[in-house]
Amino acid sequence: MHVKLADESVCIGPPPAAESYLNIPRLLAACEITGADAIHPGYGFLSENARFAEILEEHGITFIGPTSEHIRIMGDKIQAKETAKQLGIPVVPGSDGAITNEVQAQRVAKSIGFPVLVKAAAGGGGRGMKVARTAEDLDIALKTARAEAKAAFGDDSVYLEKYLSHPRHIEIQVFGDGKGNAIHLGERDCSLQRRHQKVLEEAPSPALNAEARDKIGMTVARAMQKIKYRGAGTVEFLYEDGEFYFIEMNTRLQVEHPVTEMITGLDLVLEQIRIAAGHPLSLTQEEVTFSGHAIECRICAENPTTFRPSPGRITYWHPPGGLGVRVDSGAYQGYRIPPNYDSLIGKLIVAGKNRNECLMRLRRCLSEFVIDGIETTIPLFTELVRHPDIANGTYDIHWLERHLGLKG
């Protein structure tokens, strides 16, 4: 779809990402051929690759995003946490930097109390994490986490954190102009996840009131002002018993950004391009307003119970519509979902004056959405939006896996 809609398109190579979407020389060649003076990295692939941003900076091509320095800082989870702490952002109690030996690990674990979590500095998105519930567990967890981190990221540095057992995952959207101005655009609640893949996201979070939102939002905005952050960013928190704990920062736009757009009325991609072109932020913090509620369902080409990928040709495509209904997708009737990439094929986003209106609208949209020729996760959402825990928003990050596990 993106090739069909573009003014001009250049083939950057065959499906294997290493020969195309991750191939920096080929991407640069496309800029040279077309005379493009800016690249929007989207999400995934090279969107948080500091080296890529650096190479573009060196070639005078605008990277629509933060500086390579900020990408690098936030890409190392230990440095990111240290930076967050210095900027006054609340963090999870844990080791002061990397764990270098087991004696230190046991001492830190004793002081913060078990259970603790061993995390890989080069990890993120759930990779390279091990829970330790006792001192004996800790030695094993350290060795396994280090080995996995070495294998996965070529970097075995790990750190320790207090393990939060029933948190929500709440993230703050922030924008900076790179000159010291930054605003927050509220939060998104992404607690409904399966194997570290977000399934459903909503804004605002059913767990926050205006005071809590403003407090954490302003803390993040001030922090981004201090480092002169440029572009879109998302600061991820765990939220448990009324407290926020910083876990990571994403230096890119996120898949779930539409729910923020629906409640603020701001076009976040336009905002990214404006800032990259040197324009000021479109709004001051005082001009940011939140109205209504929005919920996004990630529609994947997967079996709705086994989650096995289901690529193939879409023989019939009928999306829902109407007031407050948005379908962001590159799919269409006759399109063949390739097996080479992520199984996400579309995002169904509904907006309404409150959460209940969104749920009712979502139920109607899911019943109207027809995608034939492949299996999709639509039936999973049809069931979820009827479940009482979802209807009243009392779910934490473990709810979905517990719910699916119970279903066998």
* Residue 187 contacts ligand MV4 per CB under 6 A: no
Q: How many residues of this chain interact with ligand MV4, rule: CB under 6 A?
A: 16
**CA atoms of 247 and 81, how far apart (whole Å):** 7
> Restricting to residues 194-213, which ones interact with ligand MV4 according to CB under 6 A?
196
Is 184 within 8 Å of 172 (Cβ atoms)? yes
Identity of the residue, 244 or 317, whose beta carbon is nearer to ligand MV4 in the bound complex: 244
Print the binding letters for residues 282-311 with ligand MV4: x by CB under 6 A, - otherwise: ------------------------------
113 versus 334: smaller Cβ distance to ligand MV4: 113
For residues 144 and 130, is the Cβ–Cβ distance under 8 A? Answer: yes
Catalytic residue flag (residue 252):
yes
Amino acid at 18: A
Structural element, H or E, at residue 50: helix 50-58
Question: Of 386, 384, 379, which is closest to residue 400 (Cα–Cα)?
Answer: 384
Contact 313, 334 (CB under 8 A): yes
User: Cβ 382 to ligand MV4, closest distance in Å?
Assistant: 23
Stretch that binds ligand MV4, among 28-36, 157-165, 300-308, 337-345 (CB under 6 A): 157-165
Residue 92 makes contact with ligand MV4 by CB under 6 A: yes
* Distance between CA atoms of residues 335 and 330, nearest Å: 9
Confirm if 174 and 184 have CB atoms less than 8 A apart: yes
Q: Considering only residues 163, 381, 395, 399, which one is a binding residue for ligand MV4 as defined by CB under 6 A?
A: 163
Neighbours of 338 (CB within 10 A): 10
What CA–CA distance (Å, rounded) separates 203 from 205?
Answer: 5
Near ligand MV4 by CB under 6 A: residue from 70, 146, 169, 326: 169
Q: Of the candidates 125, 180, 321, 322, which one interacts with ligand MV4 according to CB under 6 A? A: 125
Torsion of CA 148, 152, 154, 160, to 10 degrees: -50
Nearer to ligand MV4, 175 or 239 (CB): 239
Of the residues 168, 213, 230, 252, only one is catalytic, namely 252
Write out the E strands in 204-288.
230-240, 243-250
Is residue 247 a contact residue for ligand MV4 (CB under 6 A)? yes
> At closest approach, how far in Å is the CB of 247 from ligand MV4?
5
Judged by CB under 6 A, the residue of 113, 126, 265, 322 near ligand MV4 is 126
| Interface with ligand MV4 (CB under 6 A) | 92, 117, 125-126, 161-164, 169, 193, 196, 236, 238, 247-248, 397
Catalytic positions, written as ranges: 252
